[in-house]
Structure 1
Amino acid sequence: MSDSSRTPASTEDAPRLAATKKRVGRSAVIGAIFLMATSAIGPGFITQTATFTATLGASFAFAILVSVIIDIAVQLNVWRMITSSGKRAGELANSAIPFSGHVIAVLVIIGGLAFNIGNIAGGGLGLNALLGIDPKLGGLVTAAIAITIFLIKKAGKVMDVVLVILGVGMIVMTVIVAFISQPPVGDALRQTFLPDTINFATITTIVGGTVGGYITYSGAHRYLDSGNTGPEHAGPVMRAASNGIFVTGIMRYVLFLAILGVVASGVTLDLTTQAANPAGQAFGAVLGDAGMRIFGAIFWAAAISSVIGAAYTSATFLSTFHKRFLGGWSLQWATVVFIVVSLIVYLSIGTAPAAILVFVGGFNGLILPIGLTVFMYIGWFRADLLGVKRYPRWLLIAGTLVTALTWYMGAVSIGPIFAFLGIGA
């Protein structure tokens, strides 16, 4: 999606268009940061945090720490490689290993569709808590607003502004609830590094919900629209990626503390019934009806920002199959179609929204190592595709270790993830 004009400029117009291009580039950079951040703290993560904090208590802090560490290694590598090459993930992968980009694209699109069904479900849950309307009607309203954004001519700029407002709003409201719930901060800090319990299925699910699937590539793909590509822009790219990781890290831990305060006080969250909404129950336990309204606002903001992120990023992978989806109206319409399909599937299924949100995190956690493996191959053996003779070794070592870790976690947790959902033994 590009907001820049394709009309040739006269000499007199050159300074004005240069300033416009600079503003568009700055908007795309800020949008990339918040696209990654808001995608990583969507309704899936909120529901997973409530679910796993209720079952693991303060030990869940360790899973958050692992997810942040993995996030750093993954995002710094993916942002740097994609922006240095000037190519989207699928195209870059195909340049290194024929058809590998197609495999990644298919997996991301499938995972993005699953995620977006969950995101729309989250929008329904959020508006149900905020306004008391039926969750499916809430999902319909959420999808309709997201579609409207992509039908606007300058959808990229509008998307960036909306994501910044939603992201800041979520953080402020969650900090307030965390302060009121009075969590056992000392125990949480201890178990962040020395947990009483380590659960790999939980870690894989939370990693998938905050780093896996389309989230891996969302910020980097949006950053390409800034025009600041090539290895010479590595410094600003790394700073932008680090800022995005910092924002997501704060939100993850603050949300965990808010719910931990409730669980530690003795409140039991419902994790079993079809109507279960554990995160909403936690916020309600802190502030009563007002807490439910605040939860609804946070959850809806997380949901619609993730609908936008999942649809946009998944649609960008279509350029792996045809160049027409590199930008412009083709990309915008593909994004709209993606949201519509997700909405239709959500409205037609009867699975509890909370169960959907937990499942899609696990699914995306299982496909994460596939894309990472290809990117590590590029870093080690095809640095020429990135415009450099040698890719930074510290990034490669960190990325390779995380890739191996995600393969291991996926292998040992696939059974427990499906068993948790009653899908398999």
Structure 2
Amino acid sequence: MADNNAAVKSKPPVQSGGKSMTALLGAAFLMATSAIGPGFLTQTAKFTGEYGALFALAIITTILLDVTTQLNIWSIIGVSGMRGQDIANKVVPGLGVFIAILVSIGGLVFNIGNVGGAATGLNVMFGLPIQAGTIIGGAIGILVFLSKDAKSGMDRLTKYLGSIMIVVVLYVMLRSAPPVGEAVASVGKLNQFPTLVFPIITLLGGSCGGYITFSGAHRLLDAGYSGVDDLKQFRKSVTMGVCVSGTMRILLFLAVLGVVTAAPQIVGTDSWTASPPAAAFQAGAGNIGHFIFGMVICFAAITSIIGAAYTSVSFLKTLHPFIMKNEKWFVIGFIFVSTVIMTFLGQPATLLVLAGSVNGLILPITLAVILLASRRKDIVGADYRHPTVLLVLGVCVVLLTGYTGIKAVPTILTIFG
């Protein structure tokens, strides 16, 4: 417990008022926009085309499971004042190092795809060659961390780009005129839940798997928040973040639902197979919709580049003083390596499948560690009582994601031939 008290006493003072809200919003948008990447867009559009209005039930279930998972993790990180890998090392010595390496590798591979997503967006909007767009996407991420106040710049950029994405997707949704009543009614079709287990787990892994759920919580620690007194701020920030990513998920679902309802023949076409969200946006709003798709995937990719790089290094920086001292340069190096690999590799589809599968396996491990930590007084302190409802729901998520993760292992092994 002495370590925790020392961490809380030595933390920098947290500003109140506007600056405090800026930090909370910055952490919320960092987490939300880390989740809203190219995979987020593709998965949501693809499953909407496959399940139609019924997919509303999967969307709502995913959001509820997402907020349950993130409230558990953010609460324990906040009250302990410790990063995820340090908590894991306390629960099982050496486990934190393993998780940090696993999360960082997964984050690197995802970042290769994020850089590719930025290149795709720039190609759609301005006709730039993919290689040129790849270099520009990576350069934007690097420039953010080269700035004098990199973390504040990161907060502002994710907040602005995240807000723009929501507005333009709202426009496409209104243009596509989705059957909202049918979607709302589908939420009550609980007898259809078993058919939606796979897409729910897929969406959940994309919303809070791997590095994503830790991004905002680690950002608040860096901003000086920790301890029981700041627990309310952690919970407020994570709730805002889930609201942002959930709103984006719902708007995207409705936008695509309007298209596939009016023109179901679009599903399965060559353009749909190539990119479900691109085909849906163009069908729903014409050339403007296609441009908006480019904007959304570009912004989603850039914010995910920033989130993946920052959070992956935040998992490594407490493992060695040299990484802690040179955090900024490690983040820049992380983005640079992702950009170089994407430039020469082109479309790393196999690596992206592997990264997604690994993220799905990481979630039950990290959440189980957090739930165990919630009962350790040397981690959370003698006076903290973790809400029973969060603990029970968290165990349900661990069992659900753990079971599906084990079932997916044979598929993961086939990736290696």
For residues 243-258 of structure 1, the aligned pairs below 5 Å read 243-258=240-255
Q: Distance in 1 between matches of 2:398 and 2:271?
A: 36
- Aligned to 1:133, the other structure's residue is in SS state coil
8 Å contact 1:28–1:160 — kept in the other structure? yes
Give the aligned length.
402
Query: Distance between the aligned counterparts of 1:272 and 1:97, measured in 2?
Result: 49
**Contact (CA 8 Å) 2:138, 2:336: kept in 1 or not?**
yes
Deviation at 1:182, TM superposition (A): 1.0
Quick check: 2:271–2:279 contact (8 Å CA) kept in 1? no
Q: Distance in 2 between matches of 1:113 and 1:193?
A: 39
2:374 aligns to what SS in structure 1?
helix
Amino acid at match of 2:343: L
Cα distance change on mapping 1:384 and 1:254 into 2, 3 Å: same
Distance 1:356 1:269 in 2: 26
1:190-223 deviations in Å (ceiling 9; x for gaps): 2234264724332222111111011020110001
The answer (yes or no) to whether the contact 1:51–1:271 under 8 Å persists in 2 is: no
Q: What letter is aligned with 1:277?
A: S
Q: 1:56/1:294 Cα in 2 relative to 1: closer, same or farther (>3 Å)?
A: same
Pick one of 80, 105, 108 that aligns with 1:85: 80
- Aligned Cα RMSD in Å? 2.6
Number of the residue aligned with 1:98 = 93
Alpha-carbon distance in structure 1 between the residues aligned to 2:197 and 2:343: 32
Matched residue, 1:148:
143
Alignment match of 2:165 (pick from 150, 167, 170): 170
Tell me by how many angstroms 1:275 deviates. 8.2
- SS of residue matched to 1:198: helix
Aligned partner of 2:5 in structure 1 is: none
The 5 Å alignment of 1:203-282 reads 203-266=200-263, 267-269=265-267, 276-282=274-280
CA displacement, residues 392-416 of structure 1 (integer Å, 9 cap, x when unaligned): 2222122112111111222334556
The alpha carbon displacement at 1:27 in A equals 3.3
**Greater Cα offset, 24-33 or 71-80:** 24-33
Q: Report how far residue 362 of structure 1 moved.
A: 3.9
Query: In 1, distance between residues paired with 2:266 and 2:354?
Result: 22
Match of residue 386, structure 1, among 376, 380, 383: 380
Report the Cα distance in structure 1 between the residues aligned to 2:151 and 2:199, rounded to whole angstroms: 35
Report if the CA contact (8 A) 1:163-1:305 is conserved.
yes
Q: 1:333 to 1:424 in 2, by over 3 A?
A: closer
Q: Which residue of 2 aligns with 1:107?
A: 102
Taking the TM superposition and a 5 Å limit, the aligned residue runs for 1:38-53 are 38-53=33-48
Partner in structure 2 of residue 295 of structure 1: 293
- Once the two structures are TM-superposed, the CA of residue 265 in structure 1 deviates from its matched residue by 1.5
Whether contact under 8 Å (1:259, 1:282) holds in the other structure is yes
- 1:363 corresponds, among 338, 344, 358, to 358
Q: Report what 1:314 is aligned to.
A: 312
In the superposition, relative to structure 1, how do residues 58 and 411 fare at CA in structure 2: closer, same or farther (>3 Å)? Answer: farther
Q: Distance in 2 between matches of 1:357 and 1:110?
A: 11
> Which of 311, 321, 338 is the matching residue for 1:342?
338
TM-score (normalizing by structure 1)? 0.87
* CA shift for structure 1 position 41: 1.5
- Contact kept, 8 Å, 2:13 with 2:224, in 1: the verdict is no
What percentage of residue pairs aligned between the two structures are identical?
42
Q: Distance in 2 between matches of 1:332 and 1:403?
A: 33
Q: Give unpaired runs (5+ residues) of structure 2.
A: 1-11
When normalised by structure 2's length, the TM-score is 0.89
Q: 1:278 and 1:248 mapped to 2: Cα distance?
A: 19
Partner of 1:138 in structure 2? 133
Counterpart-to-counterpart distance in 1, 2:132 and 2:289: 22
Give the alignment of 1:326-341 within 5 angstroms.
326=324, 330-341=326-337
Secondary structure, in 3 states, of the residue corresponding to 2:187? helix
Equivalents in 2 of 1:216, 1:272: separation in Å? 34
Give me the whole-angstrom Cα distance separating, in 1, the residues matched to 2:57 and 2:131: 35
1:208-251 deviation digits (Å, cap 9, x = unpaired): 11110110201100011221210121122211111111111111
Contact 1:207 1:361 in 2 (8 A): no
Q: Name the CA shift for 1:59/1:412 in 2 (closer, same or farther; >3 Å).
A: farther
Indicate if the aligned counterparts of 1:101 and 1:320 stay in contact, CA closer than 8 A.
no
In 2: Cα distance, 1:288 partner to 1:106 partner: 44
Q: Do 1:125 and 1:296's aligned partners in 2 also have CA atoms closer than 8 Å?
A: yes
Checking the alignment, whether the CA contact within 8 Å between 1:42 and 1:119 is kept in structure 2 is: yes
CA separation of 1:294/1:385 partners in 2, compared to 1, >3 Å: closer, same or farther? same
**Alpha carbons 1:130, 1:297 under 8 Å: kept:** yes
Q: Tell me what 1:124 maps to.
A: 119
The separation in 2 between residues aligned to 1:62 and 1:227, in whole angstroms, is 38
User: Is residue 2:392 matched to residue 1:397?
Assistant: yes
Contact persistence 1:84–1:234 (CA under 8 A):
yes
Instruction: Give, in whole Å, the separation in 2 of the partners of 1:348 and 1:192.
Output: 45
